[in-house]
Amino acid sequence: MTLPTRSKGGNYEKGRIVHYINQFFGQIGGEEKADIKPELREGFVGPGMAINQAIGEEGEIVATIICGDSYFNENLEQASAEVIQLIKRFNPDVVITGPAFNAGRYGVACGAVAKAVSEELLIPVVSGMYPENPGVDMYKKYAYIVETSNSAAGMRKAIAPMAKLALKLGQGIEIGSPSEEGYIPRGIRVNIFARERGAKRAVDMLVKKIKGESFETEYPMPVFDRVQPSAPIIDLSHAKIALVTSGGIVPKGNPDRIESSSASKYGKYELTGLTDLTADNSETAHGGYDPVYANEDADRVMPVDVLREMEREGVIGKLHEYWYSTVGNGTSVANAKKFAQGIAAELLAEGVDGVILTST
């Protein structure tokens, strides 16, 4: 699999690239078209024009595959298989997906395509995403994912490194480190030869740390948020308790159309007068677990029935008049934080004393 160097008008083919994008960048439509099945276009579409220009005479996008984000995420295995069949027809040397920036469902789709292509077709894949896109953690070992900004405003900056990596992979050129090439670390370790022994390098880093000087570790560790626990509620019998869930529990029919994966919104729903969640009044929108038992009795995910009993018995003072719900499946960290800030502000304004958070 190579992308041969050639001059314009040569007698041998350019390197062949297939590009995967969603319905928005495929210029079909927005959320109202997110349910479209995979479609094929010959040549480049949308951002493919800039990628094609950046690649130059050494390769070209021979086909573009467009698929709706909702369709792909709600039919992951089927959509992956459908996309693979379309890619096979063009026998590409490299596949490019995205860039997806911080769009969660799009990132997951790009990553799933990368996984299928690398495992089934043994073809290298290049993508582009914001580091907090859930597609990164889920699929980073299946593609070289260029780090992008969190929105399409960074399209121009993302194109050059993606095109560069695609050419290198196609030509069989060794890919450098993440810091050299601009891609997100893949969690894959390689052996290298260093000029100095590890013991000396470690001592040098320690000395720099003691002196307060900057240094670069050879073994970066993940960074986790530290959340300071709130003070305990002293008297539950006078406390107002709210329910918040990432398990996707919504009124029957999912009136806000919360996505089954990579949610872009949360819902606020009336609890006044509701003592039990049943198959007639509620369901789950979540696409990351078997919904059968939650749809039969949503109290299994969000225990309204038990809390109503506790309210009647005086164990808690009152159950808040509304519940808040979204889907945690593939939802980006940025969106999750945004949801939490909005929900927390409302709960504080309503004088809520405590929150029970449930997931799946």
Residues 265-316 pLDDT 10s: 999 999 999 999 999 999 999 988 889 999 999 999 999 999 999 999 999 9
Q: What is the tally of structural domains in the chain? A: 2
What pLDDT is stored for residue 17 in this prediction?
Answer: 94
The CATH code of the domain that includes 29 is 3.40.50.2000
Tell me: do 130 and 260 sit in the same domain. no
What pLDDT is stored for residue 191 in this prediction?
Answer: 76
Q: Which residues of 66-103 are buried (b: 16+ CB within 10 A; e: fewer)?
A: bbbbbbbbbbbeebbebbbebbeebebbbbbbbbbbbb
* 3-state SS record for 263-324: CCCCEEEECCCCCCCCCCCEEECCCCCCCHHHHHCHHHCCCHHHHHHHHHCCCCCEEEEEEE
Tell me: do 146 and 249 sit in the same domain. no
The values of phi and psi at residue 267, to 5°, are: -120, 150
Q: Residue 295: which domain range?
A: 236-358
Tell me: do 57 and 176 sit in the same domain. yes
Tell me: do 105 and 39 sit in the same domain. yes
Q: What is the pTM of this model?
A: 0.70
Are residues 271 and 321 in contact, defined by beta-carbon separation less than 8 angstroms? yes
What pLDDT is stored for residue 332 in this prediction?
Answer: 76
Tell me: do 166 and 274 sit in the same domain. no
What pLDDT is stored for residue 150 in this prediction?
Answer: 85
Tell me: do 280 and 155 sit in the same domain. no
What pLDDT is stored for residue 350 in this prediction?
Answer: 94
Are residues 169 and 126 in contact, defined by beta-carbon separation less than 8 angstroms? yes
Q: Write out residues in the chain with pLDDT < 70, as ranges.
A: 1-13
What pLDDT is stored for residue 262 in this prediction?
Answer: 78
Half-sphere exposure (Cβ direction) of 243: Cα atoms closer than 13 Å: 30
Tell me: do 241 and 175 sit in the same domain. no
What pLDDT is stored for residue 1 in this prediction?
Answer: 38
Q: What strands, in cross-sheet order, belong to the sheet with 144-147?
A: 39-42, 59-67, 15-22, 94-101, 125-129, 144-147
The values of phi and psi at residue 56, to 5°, are: 75, -145
